[in-house]
Amino acid sequence: MTAALRYRAVLFDLDGTLVDSYAALAEAVNYARREHGLHELSAARIRDFIGEGLERLLQRAFDCETVPTSVRNAFERRYDDICCEESKVLTDVEATLVDLEKLGVAMAVCTNKPTSFSKKILEFLQLAPFFRAIVGPDLAGARKPEAQHVLRTLQAADVVADGALFVGDMPIDVHAARNSGIDVAVVATGSSSIEQLRASKPDHYLSRFSDLVTLVQQGNA
């Protein structure tokens, strides 16, 4: 069946694409700030800091170039406690993954979130079995938008770039796909606006996550 597909493999971003974990990230950031005598930041402001990995998130939240070990430890301690219960699967995601699996599409996750947290959340939400690989920057030795992160994820999933599609919710996902030479589709379920996503010039814009099934089969989106 896969021979008839336009895309035989799909790589997904995690936060904002498959899962909403913004509440947990905001609480962990503010916990670390409270522990260091700082006032809390709004959830909206913290949401704007998300997308380029844990180091960049904490650099922005603490306005520093070098993140103190005590800050990282406080964040990770709190996030580890709440990341599963405070994360939820986004609309249509599970049903779409089921449909893609039935079509024989190979799937993997390419995320700037550390691999350990990513696996923990996906296992808790019972999505992990859909994916051949879950690759954070610590495993890839690079982070999106660097091509190495995407290419290492393809390698870990035992798929090739030809016939692969990246699906994300931010311009950084578009840039990562472009740098890696694969097509990219975006969906406005994360922190980026429709205007920001269209301006990044993806190959495909998904009005709904479930439109991915049609795109993979026919490329009409």
- Point out the catalytic residue in the list 13, 20, 173, 183: 13
3-class secondary structure, 148: helix
CA distance 216 to 195: 24
Question: Which tokens belong to 2?
Answer: 């896969």
For residue 15, what are the β-bridge partners? 19
Residue 145 preceded by cis peptide, ω within 30: yes
3-class secondary structure, 12: strand
Q: Taking a C-beta distance cutoff of 8 angstroms, is the pair 184, 165 a contact?
A: yes
Give catalytic status of residue 13 as yes or no.
yes
List the catalytic residues: 13
